[in-house]
Amino acid sequence: MTQSHPHPAEDYAEALKLFSSLQAEEPGNMNPACRNRLLTHGKRTEKAIILVHGYTSSPAQFLELGQQFFSAGYNVLIATFPHHGLADRMTKEHGRLTADELAIYADRTVDIASGLGDQVDMLGLSAGGVTTAWAAHNRKEIDTALLVSPAFAFRKIPTILTYAAMIFYRNIPDSFEWWDPEKKKNGTPLYAYPQYSHHALTEVLRLGFTVKDAAVEKAPAAKKIILVLNPSDEMVNNDMAIQIAEIWTRKGGNISTYSFDPSLKLPHDLIDPTQSGQRIDIVYPKLIDLVNS
């Protein structure tokens, strides 16, 4: 089982050093728009938030929402997933992503944020939602965690077959598919990869099953977890997320659920302002309100 190894920053200065270490590891062939982002008021603030982007995307996906949190007084950390943000959008590098790397990413971001604010919140979308769930289960430093459309399972696969599908795809050679078979390279923003790896998606599922197994053993460490569902989402299957939330609740966790109105017909990526059908005029204020609720 993937273990947490917390080393939270004790103050603002240490948080900046940890963030500088993160920046120093950025590859030379990185797209400048995809670099790690820290929006800071120049001092430790009352609140800090970690925003976790989705698989094949980058911090640019969350920059506009991050600016709104920053304007509300937050220090904001938006870190890049391992193997993400490379200038070559057709790279296969992201197929190397593992559940262990996502857990290490979660620990490192919480470590940094612990020195950025007296209160640490975390919000993640899709694979970022699963990563946030892992952090919420393991890190007591987190006050509120928002799991937005977490990718614990996918619509293409019946819930009961999710584990078997994960094992199957992990044990065959990797393959890549277009997110949008018609638009291909034009189907995603220039700061995101247009293809996904089956192996990488199985690693997201593996981290999700790690969370589920851990939830059976004990309550989550975070003070509060809010599951945010999008009924119009054509990518993720919400059943597994609901199951995990119910397990946490039975263990005594402070868990609540919010569901967007299906009449909004929101896309899976309800964060990126460039997405077709986007309603950030409704989504952003609601997410900010939920974090502060």
Task: Over range 152-174, report the average pLDDT.
Answer: 93
CA-closest candidate to residue 57, choices 173, 187, 171, 170? 187
pLDDT of 125 reads 98
Q: Please give the full DSSP string across 60-105, using - where no structure is assigned.
A: GGGHHHHHHHHHTT-EEEEPPPTT--BS-TT-SGGGG--HHHHHHH
Query: Residue 279's pLDDT band (boundaries 50, 70, 90)?
Result: very high
- Rounded to an integer, what distance in angstroms lies between the CA atom of residue 271 and that of residue 148? 10
Average pLDDT score over the chain: 96
pLDDT of 1 reads 52
Task: Over range 13-25, report the average pLDDT.
Answer: 97
Query: Residue 4's pLDDT band (boundaries 50, 70, 90)?
Result: very high
Task: Over range 67-73, report the average pLDDT.
Answer: 98
Tokens 């034009």 appear where?
Answer: 186
Among 46-50, 52-56, 256-260, 271-275, the least confident range: 271-275
SS3 of residue 150 by DSSP: coil
* Per-residue model confidence as pLDDT tens digits over 206-263: 999 999 999 999 999 999 999 999 999 999 999 999 999 999 999 999 999 999 999 9
Query: Residue 276's pLDDT band (boundaries 50, 70, 90)?
Result: confident
Query: Residue 70's pLDDT band (boundaries 50, 70, 90)?
Result: very high
Query: Residue 275's pLDDT band (boundaries 50, 70, 90)?
Result: confident
For the chain, what percent of residues have pLDDT higher than 70?
Answer: 100
Residue type, 160: I
Provide the whole-model pTM.
0.96
For the chain, what percent of residues have pLDDT higher than 90?
Answer: 95
Per-residue tokens: 14 = 């240490």
pLDDT of 79 reads 98
Burial of 280 (0-12, 13-18, 19+ CB in 10 A): middle
Query: Residue 7's pLDDT band (boundaries 50, 70, 90)?
Result: very high
Q: Which residues pair with 86 in a beta bridge?
A: 30
- Rounded to an integer, what distance in angstroms lies between the CA atom of residue 221 and that of residue 211? 12
Task: Over range 65-87, report the average pLDDT.
Answer: 98
Per the document, the length of the chain is: 293
Task: Over range 34-48, report the average pLDDT.
Answer: 98
- Rounded to an integer, what distance in angstroms lies between the CA atom of residue 255 and that of residue 173? 38
In sequence order, what are the residues at sequence separation of 6 or more whose Cβ sits closer than 8 angstroms to the Cβ of residue 87?
Answer: 29, 30, 31
CA distances from 275 to 57, 85, 176, 271, 272 (A): 12, 18, 22, 8, 6
Among 9-23, 139-153, 265-279, the least confident range: 265-279
Ordered by where they begin, the domains of the chain are 12-291 (3.40.50.1820)
Task: Over range 272-286, report the average pLDDT.
Answer: 94
